[in-house]
Structures are given as structure tokens and as C-alpha cells.
Amino acid sequence: MQSHLSQDLTELTTDRLVLRSWTTFEADAVLQATPGGIRPADWSADFPSDGDRVIAGLLGDHPAWLGAYGHRLIVERDSGLIVGSIGLFWPPADGVLELGYGIVSSRRGRGYATEATRAVSEFALATPGVHTVAAGVELSNPASVRVLEKAGFERHDTTLAETAEGTARFVITRHDRRS
């Protein structure tokens, strides 16, 4: 998979997806969306998900997440529809960036989450000051575990608290990316 970056860094393009930065207008639209209400034409029928609403609500408190190194909407290239979101929780902490993602249920199982995760991780690891991208995952969600594994992430040592909560941490580093 090849990904291409726009000159202003706000858009990553992969084989099947465009990953573009959220705008404040889109965040507001997600927060105001009601079931059965008027929806933007570029949303898939089941966008936004609960996770997208949470991120939209946090964008006002974290303006850096609206930039190139923050959260992105996942747009299906063939249809032009928004089918999820993926993001980096900027700024990095000691060179580590957290990653989160979600694909609407109607588009799951197509490899979109893996494709988006690979592209965003490669982008992040090419950023000065970032050496690791990490993601927490609930072990009761084996599909999300597979997404991370297919994207090149490896399970990191899990703490007792994480084990008790049924979660694990997966990471990819600059070194892993070169292998």
C-alpha cells in the first residue's frame, strides 16, 4: 500500500481512502446530528458513530487535534463518503503518540481500519520527535487486535491493571517500520 501526503499535510491518500483533517464545521455537524435528522450528503448512512461524537466533542478543547498531526476523517475514495475517523492524540509524550480509530459498522471487514492505521502510523513515525505510535485495545474486540497486528503493531508488555481491565497495548516504532 502506498500513501501520499498533500502539501499542506492535512490529507493522506491511500489506495482506497482519503484521510483528511476534521474541520470545526464538521465537528459541530457531528455534535448536532440527530437520528433521522438532516445529514450532510458526504456521510455514510451510519456515520457518525458514538466514538466520532466523542472525538468531535473533544476537538474544541484540543485545537491541535484539528491540524495535520491530529484527528482525520476516513473518506472512502470510490463513494466520497465519510466512513469513520482515525487520530493521533497530539502532542507526543516522550516521543510516543497514541492512536485511535473507528470504522462505521456498514464498512467493517473491508480492511479500511488497517489501511488507515498503516498510513497514519507511517506519517506519525516520519515526524521529528516521534519514535513510537501506541494503541490500547480491548481484548474482547479481536477485530481491533487484528487491525493493529496487520498494520505492523506488536503487543507490548501488559500491566496487571490492563490485564484486569481486559485491555492490551500495541506499539509500532521507527525501527519496526524499517524492517
Q: Model confidence over 118-157: pLDDT tens digits? A: 999 999 999 999 999 999 998 899 999 999 999 999 998 7
- At 179 the pLDDT is 46
Strand order in the sheet with 17-21: 4-5, 11-13, 17-21, 71-76, 82-93, 96-103, 132-138, 167-173, 154-155
User: pLDDT per residue over 85-127, tens digit each?
Assistant: 999 998 999 999 999 999 999 999 999 999 999 999 999 999 9
Give one DSSP letter per residue of 87-126, joined into a string: EEEEEEETTEEEEEEEE-GGGTTSSHHHHHHHHHHHHHHT
Question: What pTM was computed for the model?
Answer: 0.90
Bigger pLDDT: 176 vs 5: 176
Write down the pLDDT at residue 143. Answer: 96
Average pLDDT of span 156-175: 80
Q: What is the CA radius of gyration of the chain?
A: 16
CA atoms within 13 A of residue 118's CA, in its CB half-sphere? 19
Identify whether the C-beta of residue 89 lies closer than 8 Å to the C-beta of residue 98: yes
Q: Cβ contacts of residue 43 below 8 Å, gap of 6+? A: 81, 82
53-85 pLDDT, tens digit per residue, is 999 999 989 988 998 889 999 999 999 999 999
Do 2 and 52 contact (CB within 8 A), yes or no? Answer: no
Amino acid 167: pLDDT: 87
What pLDDT, on a 0 to 100 scale, did the predictor assign at position 156? 87
168 SS3 class? strand
12-24 pLDDT per residue, tens: 999 999 999 999 9
